[in-house]
Amino acid sequence: MAVDVLTPGAEQRIERLHRVWRPRPGVLGWLTTVDHKRIGLLYFFTTLAFFGAGGIEALLMRTQLAGPDLNVVGPETYDQLMTMHGVTMIFFFIIPMTTGAFGNYLVPLMIGARDMAFPRLNALSYWIFLGSGIFIYVGLFMHRAPNCGWFCYTPLNRRAFDPGPNVDFYALGLIFNSIASTATALNFIVTIFKLRAPGMSLNRMPLFIFAMLAVSLSLIFALPSLTADLVYLELQRKGGFHFFDVAHGGDAFLWQHLFWLFGHPEVYIIVLPAFGIATSIIPTFSKRRMIAFPLVALAELLVAFIGFGVWAHHMFATGLPTITLVAFAAASMMVVIPSTIQVFAWTFTVVLGRPEFRAPLLFIGGFIVFFVLGGLSGIMFAAIPFDQATTDTYFVVAHFHFIIFGAAVFPILGGMYYWFPKVTGRLYHERAAQISFWLTFFGTALTFFPMHIVGLLGMTRRVYTYKPHLGWDAYNLSETIGSFILAAGLLLIFANLVWSRFRGAPSGPDPFRGGTLEWATSSPPPEYNFAVIPKVTSPYPNWDPADREDDARRLQAGTLVLEEGHETPAVTVRDGYLDEVLRMPAESPWPVVVGLGVALIFTMLLLSHFVLASVAAGLTLFALAGWHLQEPELE
Amino acid sequence: MSADAARIDRSRAAKPNGWWGMAVFVATEATLFGTLVGTYFYLEFTNPQWPPPGIPDPKVLAPLLLTAALVATSVPVQVAYSAARRDRVRLAQLALVVALVVQAVYLALQLHLFLDDLDTFSPNASAYASIYFTLVGAHHFHVVVGMLLEAWLVVRLVTGLTRYRLVGLQATAFYWHFVNVLAVVVLLTQISPAL
């Protein structure tokens, strides 16, 4: 709070809030925590570990491909590395990093709430996510990791062609993981609808919140088709069912349709949080509001919506009827409209503002560059003949890495710098941060740009090696060099943050003069986030000094301080009128216990011990009963 | 405390968080069933004969009557919620027990039909059999989950009403109405070859 002098009354209230929200100390406190900030940090460190693993897998592949006919890893290992790299980066890094870490930490702070709508479910999401990550990585350590590529097409995924547990690790691991993503998405939707600070009507929500809402809605409607697909796959592999098997009336396209019906919205699930981060960083460092605010909000939701109607453009080379292809090509072109609206809005906000090119804004600049380049090659794919000529070549790999690494990960990296002072209370090292940007920027360009060329020269994706004299050697070598430069840049970011955590200068609550509410509280925020539930009259509440002074006055008066228990206000969905004061659950051991139960169920399913899986399900039910015996009002 | 919970419930302008949570959950579940039903018809259109030769047409009358009985239990479930809102806890419990009894009979007879079908043709026989048992089995599983929720609420209401339990009841009622809509959709899909 921007309060200089506290009256004794206000001090007493803050003292009481501290007492009510004080966490349990030590490891037990982390195991039982339901605090969205702690869960966000758990997510952050876990996903960072998976990012490291996925990065090492990528470097191993790039080393293998540095020259022709190398034998650093064999073909079987290469298949596992390639599949695990894709699965890890998508399901165990980007989604949990953006929703689990950034979303968890920031959504309640930005909307002026004290926690998520379902704090225990939030904790459960984390434990299930952790369990699913360990589950699928056990496969890698046993050298039995998924080896069929991240979309694992049938018939390759059938028992006859892939008899080991590799594909079962993939299918069960991803079902396991999608429980966590669904729970997180549900939690965000309800939190955003119901827990906004009074006064924050829907049109006053920050654009980051619009992006998180769009992501959550996409997850809710996209994941079921993946789940169904994977359930069919396991029923076919373990139960002898026939879904994809033509000889018994099944259909191989069924797998592809359902996979991409999930898989394309998934692409927007990956980049939408990046849009949200960009729309947080740009106004702060340009010192003005986003231009075309309502259009940008609409575009974020529209991208998510259109994402559901374009899946067959991943199947242009499969022999679907031409009329189908044309319809999907047209739909794919449509994505250009909301994307372009956003690109112009981002750029012109910087141009019309007074930009200060500090590291977070540099990363957003890199993001815009790669988003435009990757978007342009994306439009090329919407042209059916071009797609059919380049399908399954490195051109595709180049395109989606510009989008997934350049456009989705750059804002994550910029966001790490941007919110680092908020989370730690210390400033990062600016010079080192700027160097790290240029390293990652050139590393990314050097790694992925030549892939366009080798792709056009005919190099197919997923090959573990290639012959010399095809004209591919120099490009591949430069890609490998680029990937190591990129890795150095990432390591420099990591080193900067670790160093700054201990040696950085104190940042104060609001070092960058941000416009959203997370900057209205101290750094790091207290357990209860805000000493008084903030007043909101615009989408940039922290730029309304009168409202912040009003907060200070209300803290003295005790209006909406809610220091009696774990309390936070709930509002009406559209207008954000105060509706009731909710009693929120405190720390609970049950989420981690239920998470263990779910892990046990999936382990038994993997081992085909179906009776033991049912026993584990029964035990999990008992744990759920324990969970619901703990009612917040009775504590 | 009991009267308090009912009073707060009636004074709320918006739906409570628990209801919203259930609504979002139902949205994702509806999508899941949309995928299952979509798979059924997708496979039907790619097969020359549906059900394939050697598999009898699905039964119609018994599933139809049973589904009608299941759908009717939306009434006592809704009664339970309205009673709880007016702080009439015993009536709420009674209505839930009535619903549970009908649902239990429904489930027992449906499982009987399910096992009977399994004896006639195996899910390993064809794509038709695979999606048939997956779809119908998924629905039975949802009925079981709904019954567990109701049974839990009956037990919890013994010690009175709280906001937590009342919201739980509201969400459970919403879930049941959804399961009943699904029941009709699944039934129509299941019997479609015989129509």
- The pLDDT of A9-29, averaged and rounded, is 93
Instruction: Give the pLDDT score at A4.
Output: 58
Question: For residue A440, how many other CB atoms are within 10 A of its CB?
Answer: 26
pLDDT digits (tens, 9 = 90+) for A311-363: 999 999 999 999 999 999 999 999 999 999 999 999 999 999 999 999 999 99
* Cβ density class A323-349: b for 16+ within 10 Å, e for less: eebeebbebbeebbebbebbbebbeeb
For residue B40, what is the nearest residue in chain A, using CA coordinates?
A: A243
The burial of B191, by beta-carbon neighbours within 10 Å (0-12 exposed, 13-18 middle, 19 or more buried), is given as middle
Judged against a pLDDT cut of 70, whether residue A427 lies above it is answered with: yes
State whether A220 and B46 contact (CB < 8 Å).
no
- The pLDDT of A606-624, averaged and rounded, is 97
Judged against a pLDDT cut of 50, whether residue B194 lies above it is answered with: yes
Backbone angles phi, psi at A316, to 5 degrees: -65, -25
| Calpha distance B143→A243 (Å, rounded) | 25
Choose the mutation target among B35, B144, B154, B169 for the interface with A, i.e. most A CBs under 10 Å: B35
CA distance A217 to chain B (A): 9
pLDDT digits (tens, 9 = 90+) for A50-64: 999 999 999 999 999
Judged against a pLDDT cut of 90, whether residue A186 lies above it is answered with: yes
| Calpha distance A554→A535 (Å, rounded) | 10
Instruction: Give the pLDDT score at A580.
Output: 92
| Calpha distance B64→B82 (Å, rounded) | 29
Q: Which amino acid does the sequence have at A295? A: L
* Cβ density class A523-540: b for 16+ within 10 Å, e for less: bbbbbbbbbbbbbbeebb
Instruction: Give the pLDDT score at A2.
Output: 46
State whether B17 and A231 contact (CB < 8 Å).
no
pLDDT digits (tens, 9 = 90+) for A544-581: 999 999 999 999 998 899 988 899 999 999 999 999 99
Which residues in chain A are closer than 8 Å to B150, comparing Cβ atoms? none
> For chain B, give me the number of helices (H) and strands (E)?
7, 0
State whether B43 and A221 contact (CB < 8 Å).
no
CA distance A406 to chain B (A): 31
Percent of chain B predicted with pLDDT > 70: 99
CA distance A240 to chain B (A): 5
pLDDT digits (tens, 9 = 90+) for B46-70: 999 999 999 999 999 999 999 999 9
CA atoms within 13 A on the CB side of A345: 25
Instruction: Give the pLDDT score at A177.
Output: 98
Partner A contacted by B76 (CB < 8 A): no
Judged against a pLDDT cut of 50, whether residue B16 lies above it is answered with: yes
> Can you read off the two tokens belonging to residue A473?
């050697």
Q: Residue A8: which pLDDT band, with cuts at 50, 70 and 90? A: confident
The burial of A597, by beta-carbon neighbours within 10 Å (0-12 exposed, 13-18 middle, 19 or more buried), is given as buried
DSSP state of A567: E
Distance set, CA A317 to CA A83, A312, A477, A482, A555 (Å): 21, 10, 30, 31, 63
A 225-254 residues with CB < 8 A to B = 225, 227-228, 231-232, 235-236, 239-243, 245, 248-251, 254
CA distance A631 to chain B (A): 7
Identify which of B1, B24, B52 has the shortest CB distance to residue A249.
B52
Contacts of A629 (CB under 8 A, 6+ apart): none
Question: What ipTM describes this predicted complex?
Answer: 0.97
State whether B21 and A579 contact (CB < 8 Å).
no
Instruction: Give the pLDDT score at A5.
Output: 66
CA distance B9 to chain A (A): 10
List residues bridging with A570 in a β-sheet. A580
Judged against a pLDDT cut of 90, whether residue B1 lies above it is answered with: no
Contacts of B56 (CB under 8 A, 6+ apart): B120, B121
pTM: 0.97
Judged against a pLDDT cut of 90, whether residue A634 lies above it is answered with: no
Identify which of A121, A257, A631 has the shortest CB distance to residue B162.
A631
pLDDT digits (tens, 9 = 90+) for A473-486: 999 999 999 999 99
State whether B130 and A117 contact (CB < 8 Å).
no
A-B Cβ pairs (cutoff 8 Å, strict): 127
A 472-531 residues with CB < 8 A to B = none
Q: Which amino acid does the sequence have at A19? A: R
The burial of B181, by beta-carbon neighbours within 10 Å (0-12 exposed, 13-18 middle, 19 or more buried), is given as middle
Judged against a pLDDT cut of 90, whether residue A1 lies above it is answered with: no
Q: Phi-psi category of A391—alpha, beta or left, where left has phi over 0 and alpha has psi -120 to 50?
A: beta
Which residues in chain B are closer than 8 Å to A248, comparing Cβ atoms? 125-127
Distance set, CA A90 to CA A60, A117, A179, A319 (Å): 18, 26, 15, 28
Considering chain A, what is the average pLDDT of its residues? 96
> Can you read off the two tokens belonging to residue A43?
């997510």
Query: What is the C-alpha R_g of chain A?
Result: 25
- The pLDDT of A609-626, averaged and rounded, is 97
Partner A contacted by B151 (CB < 8 A): no
> Can you read off the two tokens belonging to residue A120?
């225990």
A13-17, A602-606, B99-103: segment of lowest average pLDDT: A13-17
Which residues in chain B are closer than 8 Å to A626, comparing Cβ atoms? none
